[in-house]
Amino acid sequence: MEEFYWIGLKAVPGVGNVTFRRLLERFDSPRAALSAAPAELSAVRGMTPAAVAAVREGGWQRFAGDECRRLQLSGARLLLFTSADYPKSLFQIPDPPPFLYLRGQLYSREAALAIVGSRRGTSYGLLTTGRLAEGLARHGVAVVSGMARGVDTAAHKGALQAGGRTVGVLGCGIDKVYPPENRKLFDEMAEKGALVSEFPLGTLPLAENFPRRNRIISGLSQGVLVVEAAENSGSLITAQYALEHGRDVFAVPGNITYASCKGSNRLIKQGAKLVDCVEDILEELSGFEGPGTDTPAGTKPAGFSLTPKEAAVYELLARSPLHIDDIISQTELTAGEVSSMLLHLELKGALVPLPGKHYAVSA
Instruction: Quote the pLDDT of residue 299.
Output: 45
Instruction: Quote the pLDDT of residue 301.
Output: 54
Task: Give the contacts of 272 (CB within 8 A, at least 6 positions apart).
Answer: 226, 239, 249, 250, 251
Written out in words, the top-level CATH class of the domain with range 308-361 is mainly alpha
Instruction: Quote the pLDDT of residue 79.
Output: 97
Could you read off the pLDDT of 122-181 as tens digits, one per residue? 999 999 999 999 999 999 999 999 999 999 999 999 999 999 999 999 999 999 999 999
Task: Classify 257 as helix, strand or coil.
Answer: coil
Closest of 241, 262, 120 to residue 251, by C-alpha: 262
Output the CA–CA distances (angstroms, integers) from residue 334 to 78, 81, 279, 327, 340, in the order listed.
30, 22, 48, 10, 10
Domain extents in the chain = 2-74, 104-282, 308-361
- pLDDT under 50 in the chain at which residues? 287, 289-299
Written out in words, the top-level CATH class of the domain with range 104-282 is alpha beta
- Cβ atoms 52, 19 nearer than 8 A: no
Instruction: Quote the pLDDT of residue 297.
Output: 39
Instruction: Quote the pLDDT of residue 331.
Output: 87
Instruction: Quote the pLDDT of residue 250.
Output: 97
Q: Do domains 104-282 and 308-361 have the same CATH topology?
A: no
Residue 90, burial from CB neighbour count under 10 angstroms (0-12, 13-18, 19+): buried
Instruction: Quote the pLDDT of residue 261.
Output: 93
**Which CATH number is associated with domain 2-74?**
1.10.150
Other beta carbons less than 10 A from residue 176's beta carbon: 17
Instruction: Quote the pLDDT of residue 292.
Output: 34
Instruction: Quote the pLDDT of residue 286.
Output: 56
Please state the pTM of the whole predicted model.
0.91
Instruction: Quote the pLDDT of residue 363.
Output: 67
Instruction: Quote the pLDDT of residue 108.
Output: 87
- Cβ atoms 226, 241 nearer than 8 A: no
